[in-house]
Amino acid sequence: HVQLVESGGGLVQAGGSLTLSCAATEHSASTACMAWFRQGPGDEREGVAYMHTGNNNIQYSDSAKGRFTVSRDNAKNTVYLQMNDLKPNDTAMYYCAARAGWSSLCRITWRRYNFWGQGTQVTVS
């Protein structure tokens, strides 16, 4: 059973940066797609960035393009989300998620992801 543990959230001023980490207990077919989602108060959960760990194909939401960067440390089974130029509307609970699938299936609704971390809060003032 895949377990994901996020860390790195916190309080930051607008224009600042944070790096979130997502450590997985395994790297397998079940974690072929790794993604970051976020959910603000009263909002629908939305995708921020998606990575296929097989071919390293990465996709970003429009709000993340140019400001957020996904990377991976294979040796640590860890995926990172580097967030720059943060804005108040980036304030949300950020979740790491994983699912099996081909690269074309990574950028998909959060409901189709099987494994979730506990979330880490990002607050931008």
What is the rounded average pLDDT of the residues 19-35?
93
SS (H, E, C) the chain: CCCEEEECCEEECCCCCEEEEEEECCCCHHHCEEEEEEECCCCCCEEEEEEECCCCCEEECCCCCCCEEEEEEHHHCEEEEEECCCCHHHCEEEEEEEECCCHHHCCCCHHHCCEECCCEEEEEC
pLDDT classification of 125: cutoffs 50, 70, 90: very high
pLDDT digits (tens, 9 = 90+) for 37-86: 999 989 999 999 999 999 999 999 999 999 999 999 989 999 999 999 99
